[in-house]
Amino acid sequence: MKLLHKSKTLLAILLVLAVTSGCAGKGDVTITKPLSPSVSDDDNAWSEQAEGTIVLENQGFLFELDAETTHFVLTDKRTGEKYFSVPEGLMASGDDASRMVSEVTIKYYGQQTNELYMYSGVDSVPSGNFKIKTNGSTIRVYYTMGSAGVFAPEVFSREEFETQILDKIESAGMRRRMARYYVLYSSEEQPADYQDRLSQYPVLKSAPLYIMDSAVSDVEKEEISGYLSEIGYTEEMYQEHVKSLGVEVEVTEQPAGFVIPIEYQLTDDGFTVKILSDRIEEFSDEYKLQSIDCLEYFSSLDAKEGSYIVPDGSGALFTMGGTASGEYVHQFYGTDFAVQKESQTQIEKNLMLPVFGIQTGRFGILAIVEQAAEVGFLNVKPLSDSSPHNRIYVSFEMRSIDITDLGQDKPIPVYNLFTKNIISQNPQIRFIALNGEENSYAAMAARYREYLLQNNTFSGSQPQNANVYLDFLCMITEDASFLGVPYVKKTVLSTLDQIQQIVDKMHESQIKGIVVRLIGYGSGGLENYAYNRFSIDRRVGSKEQLKKLAKTLAD
């Protein structure tokens, strides 16, 4: 895969987009909406389907999802072109083999683990741990990966177990199996380990208890959990019972488990895929969902043809074929300045638009991240020995993570630190199928501009006067020493007086809309991050000179 950077046509068109959408003139531009909470529509009345093909159809497209595999095919009725959610025929190996059969890949962490992965096509679908719901115009797939949160209580009072559990199980066979998993302990009924249980549960002196047999296996605990679920006996009900009983029940660590809901919906020009964040479930407090890779192999390409369009700077192309140039992974809208980085290149890859494209001789796809692009990462992965396909897709960071490094060189545990909750917005990608003359990077840029106009992101009017940005790195610092005494050496590159002279000269030349950015006013230098302190070095200038510069720019 070869990167052809800054294609001239793409540069010109995307530069117009960038200038138009970045200009603050007369209210013509709507700034990208911030992350706001999403609430999914209730689907309790939707039909549930476990076999056959689920179909969505409109005038232009046919969407067919296999209820047994959750794989889907999108057919463009205008051209007959088919788009597959996973590739057909070619096989991968290792981790890529699991990814290639999965619409969803999740990354998660334990408190002290490295990154861990689960795949919808490996950890959910083969075992039947998923459900599909539809209302005729929308399809939702709920993937359950890992443990589904086994609820198998350790102890019941005699009355609770016999009246609230056994009496409500309709099947006589199920009642007998359930009763077999618990042993009755009382002053009259004293099994061999009665004294051990009495020390564990002192309430046994006055109240008979049913306690789970220590020989019950994990599989049998899942069976118990299923019985309780069927009669509607919840953990909340059990906690109330334990509280009234006056016993303490040790909480056992749950294995990792997640429910990841995905929603598909047809549009006039393709379809949308949405991750329903508000319906995601985590079954264990010990393991935290961190990111989700969505439709990684959708319309993936072999090495014979095609290219990928990415919004790097003013536009870039990845062409298929030839020697692979490595993976490309970058966050939309650039890096987070609130996070300090140890190093940064002066010319940095920067994805300023939440879009990407797939271009081949047969078809084209324009993908637009409509929601949660702020936490999205664009991935371009070339074919390799383990995966015979090139692919482009988005990963969404559902929860931020940081890792302590205090214990790296000391006998102190290294911990993963997480934000408490996952993001509250539902990430959504819109896939637009292109045909004919639309299948070019120039046409994709024009189509995206049309999309922005249709959604009132900007009015389309050209700015009267574009701003001129002047960046000044006022001072650099470096570690030095004098006669063995270390100190910080400061080198002034631009003073406030010099900047004032430049601005005055540009004003005299009738250059308007000047924006001065003082990059060097911070200890990070080029490696900027969010500051909560501000000071002016006397060698750069004074407060009075800064106020004068500010007044000149304001006037």
* pLDDT tens digits along 481-533: 888 888 888 888 889 999 999 999 988 888 888 888 887 544 444 555 555 55
Q: How far apart are CA 229 and CA 239, in angstroms?
A: 15
Burial (CB count within 10 angstroms: exposed 0-12, middle 13-18, buried 19+), residue 509: exposed
Least confident of 45-59, 108-122, 415-429, 453-467: 453-467
- Within 10 Å of residue 459's Cβ, how many Cβ atoms? 14
| Higher-pLDDT residue of 511, 277 | 277
| Higher-pLDDT residue of 105, 385 | 105
Buried b (16+ CB within 10 A) or exposed e, 278-315: ebbebbbeebbbbbbbbbbbbbbbeeeebbbbbbbbbb
Alpha carbon 513 to chain centroid, angstroms: 38
β-pairing verdict for 104-110 and 116-119: antiparallel
Q: Which residue's entry shows tokens 């070019």?
A: 440
Alpha carbon 537 to chain centroid, angstroms: 42
Residue 161 amino acid letter? F
Q: Residue 337 half-sphere exposure, CB side, CA atoms within 13 Å?
A: 12
pTM beyond 0.75: no
pLDDT the model gives residue 425 = 93
Burial (CB count within 10 angstroms: exposed 0-12, middle 13-18, buried 19+), residue 110: middle
| Higher-pLDDT residue of 371, 38 | 371
Q: Is the pLDDT of residue 395 over 60?
A: yes
The Cα-based distances of 485 to 470, 477, 502, 506, 553 in angstroms read 37, 16, 38, 44, 43
Least confident of 151-165, 171-185, 459-473: 459-473
Mean pLDDT of 533-537: 73
Q: Residue 236 half-sphere exposure, CB side, CA atoms within 13 Å?
A: 1
Burial (CB count within 10 angstroms: exposed 0-12, middle 13-18, buried 19+), residue 432: buried
From the list 350, 314, 323, the residue with the least C-alpha distance to 3 is 323
Burial (CB count within 10 angstroms: exposed 0-12, middle 13-18, buried 19+), residue 546: middle
User: What would the two tokens of residue 303 be?
Assistant: 């090495």
| Higher-pLDDT residue of 523, 272 | 272
Residue 413 amino acid letter? P
Give the pLDDT confidence of 24-37 residue by residue, as tens digits: 333 344 444 555 67
Residue 480 — pLDDT band, cuts 50, 70, 90? confident
pLDDT the model gives residue 160 = 92
Q: How far apart are CA 185 and CA 163, in angstroms?
A: 17
Residues 418 and 400 sit within 8 Å (Cβ to Cβ): yes
